[in-house]
Amino acid sequence: MTLTCIAVDDEPLALGLVCAFIEQTPFLQLVGRYSNAIEALRGLHEQPVDVLFLDIQMPDLTGLELARVLDSGNNARTAPRVIFTTAYNQYALEGYRVDALDYLLKPFNYEEFLRAALKAQSYYQLIRRPADLLPGGVVASDSPVSAPLRPDGAVPEREYLFLKVEYQLVRVAYDDILYIEGLKDYIKVHLRSAPTRPLLSLTSLKALEEKLPHQRFMRVHRSFIVALDQISAVTRNSIQIGTIQIPVSDQYKEPFSQFLAKWT
């Protein structure tokens, strides 16, 4: 698989280095180089690419601003994945918020560059598998109609979700989820397979709630979603999952009471 790339940096030496690294990487193809983000945006309208190596501190339009433009556009799902290349580590959190694939801190060497490029390769190998199925015969797609049909012609439900964790796209099985905890801008996904090592992802509990199958997961508090099949005990005001007690808030008591009536 070959990934098309462009590099954007207002410093000629830094731009030349990134371009040289791209050209010596067998699975990357350099199709453009720009000294400012506005020119890069015009170029992307004419020729979409897979990966954008993007400096942050630039005049007129910063790299973060360009990433936000791409992320909010009509074709956000087909926008290039961004790998930031910057001398300023204070932008790491902002880079995460615009769903950057990686964050290279200048000065970086080829080994560090290659590690980021391999993340991009792994990402595209994962999402470009409608022709080659993932393990278990499930197609890597957000659309349920892309999954293979059962013999009765029905579309089977997906048994997993993809979660952005530390610049990686992690596949998480529904069966492995105990409960999900909301922490301001982050969520913690607590797993059966690693109860002391929850997955931390920069997203909202509401955004994740919309992705989860409602017959398997329920929001019971502004800070908690629980896996219904992991509940070990219930009271009128709380849920127990293993040794963890999770409160049920007044806002969510009605749907929880309906579930409780069926559960008992």
H helix or E strand, kind and range, residue 13: helix 12-23
Q: What is the pTM of this model?
A: 0.54
Show Cβ contacts of residue 139 under 8 Å, excluding neighbours closer than 6 positions: 129, 130, 133, 146, 147, 148
In this prediction, residue 96 carries a pLDDT of 61
In this prediction, residue 152 carries a pLDDT of 47
Fold of the domain built from segment(s) 159-263: OB fold (Dihydrolipoamide Acetyltransferase, E2P) (2.40.50)
Question: Under a CB-based contact definition with an 8 Å cutoff, are residues 119 and 125 in contact?
Answer: no
Q: How far is CA 167 from CA 115, 124, 205, in A?
A: 12, 14, 19
CATH assignment of 3-127, among 3.40.50.300, 3.40.50.2300, 1.10.10.10, 3.40.50.2000: 3.40.50.2300
In this prediction, residue 30 carries a pLDDT of 96
| Cα-trace Rg, the chain | 22
| Residue ranges per structural domain of the chain | 3-127, 159-263
In this prediction, residue 128 carries a pLDDT of 67
Mean pLDDT per 10-residue section of the chain, whose length is 264 residues: 94 95 94 95 91 92 89 65 84 66 89 91 74 38 39 56 78 92 87 87 86 91 93 88 91 84 70
In this prediction, residue 97 carries a pLDDT of 67
Are the folds of 3-127 and 159-263 the same? no
